[in-house]
Structure 1
Amino acid sequence: MKYMKLGTKPDTFYTEEATRSVLSDVPSDLIIQINNTKYLLHKFPLLLKCGLLQRLCSDSPSSSPASGASPSSPLILPDFPGGEAAFELCAKFCYNISITLSAHNFLPALSAASYLLMTDSISRPNFLPKLHTFFLSFILPNWKDSVVTLASSSSTSPPFSDPTIIRPLIDSIVSKILTPASQVTWSFTYSRRISNSSTPKDWWTEDIAELDLNHFRTIVSCLKSSGGLPPALIGEALHVYSVKNLPDPNGMVELRGKERRVLEAVASMIPIEDGAVSGGFLMRLLKIGILVGASTSVRAELVRRAGRQLDEVSVGDLVFYVREGVVDIGVVEAVVESFLEGFRRRRAVEKDERERMRRVAKVFDEYLGFVAGDREMTVEKFVELSTLLPEVAREEHDGLYRAIDTFLEEHQDLSKADKKRLCQMIDCRKLSPEARSQAIANDRLPLRTLVQLLFVEQERMAGTREFRGSPTAHQTVEGEDHRRRRAEEMTERGRPSTGKKGEGSGSKPEHKGRGEVDVEKKKKVEKRLG
Structure 2
Amino acid sequence: MLSIDCGLNMSRSFGIRIFVENCSSYPAHVQQNLESWKKNRNKFYELLHLERIIIVTKMKFMKLGNRPDTFITEEATRSVISDVPSDLTIQINNISYLLHKYPLLPKCGLLQQLTSDSEDSSNVTLNLHDIPGGEEAFELCAKYCYGMTINLSAHNFVSAFCAAKYLGMTEKVETGNFVMKLEVFLSSCILEGWKDSVVTLQNTRRIYEWSESLGIIQKCVESIVDKILTPPHKVSWSYTYTRPGYQKNRRESVPKDWWTEDISFLDVDLFRCIVMAIKSTNMLQPQLIGEALHVYACQWLPDITNTGLSEGSTSQVEDQDSSDRKQRILQNIVSLVPADKGSFSVKFLLRLVSISNFLGVSQVTKAELLRLSGSQLEDAALDDLLLPNRVTSDQTSYDIELVQTVLESFLRQWKRQTPTDESLSLRSINNVGKLIDSYLQVVSKDAHLSVKKMTSLAETLPGIARTDHDNLYKAINIYLKEHPDLSKMDKKHLCRILDCQKLSPEVRSHAVKNDQLPLRTVVQLLFFEQEKGLEQERGNTTTNIKDRSSDQTSVVRDDMNKLKLSTNNHHSSKGKGGRNYDDKFQLRPELSFKIRESAVQEMRKGRKIRDEGISEIQHSNLNPQEKAKEIRISGKNHSNKGRER
Range class of TM-score, shorter chain? 0.7 to 0.9
- The 1:169/1:457 distance shift into structure 2, 3 A limit, reads farther
Deviates further, 300-309 or 311-320: 311-320
- The whole-number CA distance in structure 1 between the counterparts of 2:505 and 2:82 is 94
Which of 222, 227, 234 lines up with 2:277 in the alignment? 222
Q: Secondary structure of 1:3's match?
A: strand
Alignment of 1:256-271 (within 5 A): 256-271=323-338
Say if 2:235 is the partner of 1:235.
no
Asked if 1 retains the 8 angstrom alpha-carbon contact of 2:508 and 2:525, the reply is yes
Gaps of 5+ in 1: 63-68, 468-480, 497-501, 508-530
Does structure 2 conserve the Cα–Cα contact (< 8 Å) formed by 1:249 and 1:287?
no
Pair 465,2 (structure 1): closer, same or farther in 2 beyond 3 Å:
farther
2:436 aligns to what?
364
Tell me, in whole angstroms, the C-alpha distance in 2 between the residues paired with 1:340 and 1:412: 33
Contact 1:495 1:503 in 2 (8 A): no
Tell me which amino acid in the other structure corresponds to 2:298: V
Among candidates 140, 144, 148, match of residue 199 of structure 2:
148
Q: Which runs of structure 2 are paired with 1:226-375 in the superposition (5 Å)?
A: 226-248=281-303, 250-251=305-306, 252-253=308-309, 254=319, 256-313=323-380, 314=382, 317=385, 319=387, 321=389, 323-324=391-392, 326=394, 329-344=400-415, 345-347=417-419, 353-369=425-441, 372=444
Structure 1 residue 164: Cα displacement: 2.2
Give the number of aligned pairs: 478
Change (3 A) 1:414 1:27: same
In the TM superposition, residue 199 of structure 1 has moved relative to its aligned partner by 1.1
2:192 aligned with 1:165: no
The 3-state SS of whatever aligns with 1:250 is helix
CA displacement 1:102-153 (0-9 Å, x = unmatched): 1110100001111111112212321110100000001111111111111110
Q: Does residue 50 of structure 1 match 2:108? A: yes
Q: Indicate if the aligned counterparts of 1:38 and 1:74 stay in contact, CA closer than 8 A.
A: no
* Cα 1:445/1:49, change in 2 over 3 Å: same
What's the offset of the Cα at 1:226?
A: 1.0
Q: State the Cα deviation string for residues 271-305 of structure 1 (Å, max 9, x = none).
A: 11111212222222222223333222222222222
CA, structure 1 residues 134+442, in 2 after alignment: closer, same or farther (shift >3 Å)? farther
Deviates more, 1:194-203 or 1:76-85: 194-203
| Alignment pair present for 1:180 and 2:252 | no
C-alpha deviation, 1:7, in angstroms: 0.8
Deviation string, structure 1 residues 211-249 (Cα, Å, up to 9, x no partner): 222222222222112110111111111111222222425
Residue 312 (structure 2) aligns with: none
Q: Give 1:312-461 correspondences, 5 Å limit.
A: 312-313=379-380, 314=382, 317=385, 319=387, 321=389, 323-324=391-392, 326=394, 329-344=400-415, 345-347=417-419, 353-369=425-441, 372=444, 378-395=450-467, 397=469, 399-409=471-481, 411-426=483-498, 443-447=515-519
Indicate conservation of the 8 Å contact 2:515/2:625, yes or no.
no
Q: Which residue does 1:118 correspond to in 2?
A: 169
- Residue type of the partner of 1:267? V
User: What is the aligned partner in structure 2 of residue 190 from structure 1?
Assistant: 241
| 2:153 is equivalent to residue 98 of structure 1 | no
The answer for the alignment partner of 2:256 in structure 1 is: 201
Contact 2:351 2:387 in 1 (8 A): no
Using the TM superposition, give the Cα deviation of residue 346 of structure 1 relative to its aligned residue in structure 2, in angstroms.
Answer: 4.6
| Preserved CA contact (<8 Å) 1:400 1:426 | yes
**Equivalent residues of 1:236, 1:277 under 8 A apart:** yes
Deviation track 1:480-513 (CA, whole Å, cap 9, x = no partner) reads: x98x969x89x98x999xxxxx989x99xxxxxx
Q: Distance in 2 between matches of 1:370 and 1:398?
A: 15
CA separation of 1:363/1:250 partners in 2, compared to 1, >3 Å: closer, same or farther?
farther
Give the whole-Å Cα distance in 1 for the aligned partners of 2:207 and 2:432. 49
Structure 1 residue 338: Cα displacement:
2.4
Greater shift in the superposed pair: 116-125 or 153-162: 153-162
By how many angstroms is 1:438 displaced? 8.0
Distance in 2, matches of 1:187 and 1:75, equals 45
Q: Aligned-pair RMSD on alpha carbons?
A: 4.0
Superposed displacement of residue 78, structure 1: 1.2
**Kindly, what percent of the aligned residue pairs are identical?**
49
TM-score normalised by L of structure 1: 0.77
Quote how far apart the aligned CAs of 1:45 are.
Answer: 0.9
Structure 1 residue 82: Cα displacement:
0.6
> Is residue 305–residue 390 contact of structure 2 (8 Å, CA) maintained in 1?
no
Offset at 1:155? 2.3
How far apart in 1 are the matches of 2:64 and 2:364? 54
Q: Any conservation in 2 of the 1:398–1:431 contact (CA below 8 Å)? A: yes
Q: Single out whichever of 348-357 and 297-306 deviates more from structure 2.
A: 348-357
d(CA) in 2 for partners of 1:434 and 1:102? 75
Segments of structure 2 that go 5 or more residues without pairing to the other structure are 1-58, 310-318, 539-605, 618-623, 627-631, 638-645
Structure with higher Rg: it is 2
